[in-house]
Amino acid sequence: MKQVTILGSTGSIGRAALEVIQRYPERFRVVGLASCRNIELLQRQIERFRPLAVAVADPGRAEVLKAASGIREVLSGPDGVSALAALPEADFVLSAISGSAGLLPTLSAIREGKTVGLANKESLVMAGPLIISSVAEHGAGLIPVDSEHSALFQCMHGRDRKEIRRLLLTASGGPFLGRSAEELRDVRPEEALNHPTWRMGRKVTIDSATLMNKGLEVIEAHYLFGFEPERIDVVIHPQSIVHSLVEFVDGAFLAHLSHPDMKAPIAYALSYPERLEGVIRPCSIEELGALTFRRPDLERFPCLRYAYEALKAGGTATAVLNAANEMAVERFVQGRMTFTQIPVIIGRILDAHDAQPLKDLETVLQADSWAREKFREMVAE
């Protein structure tokens, strides 16, 4: 039986993972759960799965949970979440905390030699070289959970890298695929949060609308699979049935198809190298209809271009990109920035940054802090 810790258990990925685990109680046992602030849902999860320990990022809410749950160990704050990620009893850690907050817990699990199911792309965006070297140093495992990277992982399984010409990540295009630049100026947060095919957390949904999510996934794919940016492409695929494609040197493609349901890549990461039966609704080829693909418009959605530029600049540039984007998305959701201002401020911050070599974790955290301070300076109220 595999012992599982879920970081971000009350988010969309965490909830889907618990649905999979609940369906296969003979295969998985939950030993750790971590959440940011949704204490009510975390309490229900504790009652259902009876973990050995839990962690809450908000220390005040941790005290409330401790009094109500009667659980043996309630850890709190960022250090508490990182400690839970290293829980000795866990074999597998699902890293599903959104944003930069997932970096330190992910590293904590890796340094304990755990197998990590990575749904927190920001860890690799901010500190890809450190993550990959730490995996090798500590004998940890790293299995992608993002649907696109899981698809690539499966299509590339057992293949010689020399056979592969390029990787293609598919993007739904978000809710504003057909909108003009003029129409994008008046986009409201509730519109951006209404994704046409996927049900995701707030941050990822906004990133999908700006295409930044796909840019972050290009960076993630670079570090996961070791391909140069020039060999990682993005195509718009509104139906969200084909999750990624691999093009081989002979001109042939392998594609991964399924209904857009995160339980599929989550289950594959949990059970790898096996597959679990009946995880999601079967995909009937006869009923699919047309599958269409087009190039992304980098003029209307420049965030994708910025991600490629940051990746090519290297070093601390991707950490700065990530921090600037997190700040801009939060301000947009609060109604304090327009949709079209998001890429403008990100571009200005990248232009102001002199990328430094990524020496260690401290370098990453300093770059993250610099970008957030620069954002506040540029967007002073």
Q: What are 159-214's pLDDT values in tens digits?
A: 999 999 999 999 988 777 777 777 777 778 777 777 666 666 788 888 988 999 99
Whether the predicted pLDDT of 109 surpasses 60: yes
Question: Of 113, 145, 177, which one is at a domain's C-terminal end?
Answer: 145
Position 130 in a domain:
yes
Crossing angle, helix 39-49 and helix 59-69, to 10 degrees?
Answer: 40
Position 223 in a domain:
yes
Question: Of 145, 168, 202, which one is at a domain's C-terminal end?
Answer: 145
What domain range is 161 assigned to?
149-260+284-299
Q: Are residues 291 and 325 in the same domain?
A: no
Q: Are residues 160 and 139 in the same domain?
A: no
Q: Are residues 140 and 194 in the same domain?
A: no
Position 269 in a domain:
no
Q: Are residues 117 and 9 in the same domain?
A: yes
CATH number for the domain spanning 351: value is: 1.10.1740.10
Q: Are residues 230 and 139 in the same domain?
A: no
Q: Are residues 224 and 193 in the same domain?
A: yes
Whether the predicted pLDDT of 331 surpasses 90: yes
Position 215 in a domain:
yes
Q: Which two tokens stand for residue 280?
A: 């999601």
% of the chain with per-residue pLDDT over 70: 97
E strands along the chain, which residues?
A: 2-7, 28-35, 53-56, 73-76, 92-95, 115-118, 141-144, 164-171, 232-236, 242-248, 253-257
Question: Of 145, 173, 191, which one is at a domain's C-terminal end?
Answer: 145
User: For the chain, how many structural domains are there in total?
Assistant: 3
Position 307 in a domain:
no
Q: Are residues 13 and 31 in the same domain?
A: yes
The 3-state DSSP class for residue 185 equals: coil
Question: For residue 273, is the peptide bond before it cis, meaning its omega torsion is within 30 degrees of 0?
Answer: yes
C-alpha radius of gyration, the chain, whole number: 20
For residue 254, name the pLDDT band (cuts at 50, 70, 90). very high
* pTM for the full predicted model: 0.94
Position 13 in a domain:
yes
Q: Are residues 37 and 141 in the same domain?
A: yes
Position 358 in a domain:
yes
Whether the predicted pLDDT of 381 surpasses 60: no
CB 108 within 8 A of CB 116: no
Q: Are residues 30 and 43 in the same domain?
A: yes
Whether the predicted pLDDT of 18 surpasses 90: yes
Position 291 in a domain:
yes
Q: Are residues 187 and 290 in the same domain?
A: yes
Q: Are residues 98 and 156 in the same domain?
A: no
Q: Are residues 240 and 209 in the same domain?
A: yes
By CB atoms closer than 10 A (0-12, 13-18, 19+), residue 381 is: exposed
CATH number for the domain spanning 128: value is: 3.40.50.720
- pLDDT at position 65 is 82
Residue that wins the pLDDT comparison between 125 and 59: 125
